[in-house]
Structure 1
């Protein structure tokens, strides 16, 4: 979250800021309790009209495979976007929102560690900054993901869970639907959500106008 005025480290800029994160993550806190109890200088590269990218009509995607044993993630790779980044577990802060990676780690992805582990049944949640005041951050190109793209999660036991992107949506912050973003599309399969800020940067609100959400599901795995 945005640190108090005057306390933000020099050069780290606006990363993923205040209101957009607060709204997104408030939704996670309000909706996510069911999940856990159950088992700016640069412009963001997102669709300017806040339109959904979605899945092209008739696009054939591979079948889902059975979920894996729950193991924590260590790294995420999206080869088509040139993304390869370490993953760190993050919890909730004092306001009940998930704590994103620190400002000093703009190229690290945060995983909601109290939720689903990537590869296990249910939706695993990964969040990342879109940019800093001076340069792109880890998920700057996330909105360019397309259905059929591969997302590889290397887990701490050395196994690799490979997910296939199902769709890409851009949700305006005024109409953020937590159940659609965080809810399982199919309760019996392993799913993934990759989330960052999007839309345009509202300087008055000091926040982005939307959130980019990439949804994927488990289609392959390799053993350690």
Structure 2
């Protein structure tokens, strides 16, 4: 992580994903691939090489063309319980960025979070579990650049098997990486939470001008 955020803080605050980020009534079911799953890329489709990390700049918009996702990004911090505070339910089509962590495109693993649904309709990351390795994620930044990421991993972690180090840790020390996270599994009406989290990992493979 950049900006001096210690693992102790991550394990205290970001382990909320083992509890739940979107604790609304879950009006729609999130599509998932199971409690713990990884979706491999098609055979014969190698992923592109990593691009060198960019200078830090805040995100303003994220797009995943293959999923039809195009949404504004807002910086979010931790709430009173030490958990990442996602965008309010009044902003279901907005993505939250953990602003005291890594800037998307800079060295490290930047964290994006979003709701899967509301009480009445799908939200911004409803289709996230349908992401596939090789797909593109574009992040428009405040410096006028676009950080272009390639998805290399899609996993679903049950609450019991959520590993904060595996989810939030950088996979390779010299890369700029991105994590997109939402709820998954099934909605447990008894507890008002989902049973798992969908985690999409990507790494920087190019840049462009906005």
- Is the pair's TM-score, using the shorter chain for normalization, greater than 0.5? yes
Deviation at 1:188, TM superposition (A): 1.1
2:167 aligned residue (181, 201, 210): 181
Is contact 2:151-2:200 (8 Å) kept?
Answer: yes
List per-residue Cα deviations over 1:64-108 (Å, max 9, x = no partner): 010000000000000000000000000011111111001110100
CA contact (8 A) 1:117 1:124 kept: yes
Query: Contact conserved, 1:154 with 1:160, CA < 8 A, in 2?
Result: yes
2:98 aligned with 1:120, yes or no? no
Q: Does 1:193 align with 2:164?
A: no
> What is aligned with 2:23?
none
Tell me which of 173, 176, 195 is aligned to 1:209.
195
Per the alignment, in what secondary structure is the counterpart of residue 165 of structure 2?
A: helix
Q: How does 1:51-66 map to 2 (within 5 A)?
A: 51-56=37-42, 59-66=45-52
SS at match of 2:38: coil
TM-score normalized by the length of structure 2: 0.86
Where structure 2 has 5 or more consecutive residues not aligned to the other structure, the ranges are: 1-8, 16-25
Task: Give me the whole-angstrom Cα distance separating, in 2, the residues matched to 1:44 and 1:82.
Answer: 16
Contact 1:101 1:128 in 2 (8 A): yes
Asked if the contact 1:62/1:219 (under 8 Å) is kept, the reply is yes
Cα gap change, 1:136/1:143 in structure 2, threshold over 3 Å: closer, same or farther?
Answer: same
Tell me by how many angstroms 1:51 deviates.
2.7
CA contact (8 A) 1:91 1:112 kept: yes
Confirm or deny: 8 A CA contact 2:35 2:158 kept in the other structure: no
Distance 2:14 2:75 in 1: 20
| Counterpart residue number, 2:208 | 222
Distance 1:115 1:49, change over 3 A: closer
- In structure 2, the partner of 1:151 is 137
Give the 3-state SS of the residue equivalent to 1:105 in structure 2: coil
Q: CA deviation at 1:205?
A: 1.5
CA shift, 1:56, in A, is 4.5
**Equivalent residue number for residue 45 of structure 1:** 31
Structure 1: where are the runs of 5+ without partners? 1-24, 32-39
**TM-score using structure 1 length:** 0.81
C-alpha distance 188-49 of structure 1, shift in aligned 2 (>3 A):
closer
SS at match of 2:13: helix
Partner in structure 2 of residue 95 of structure 1? 81
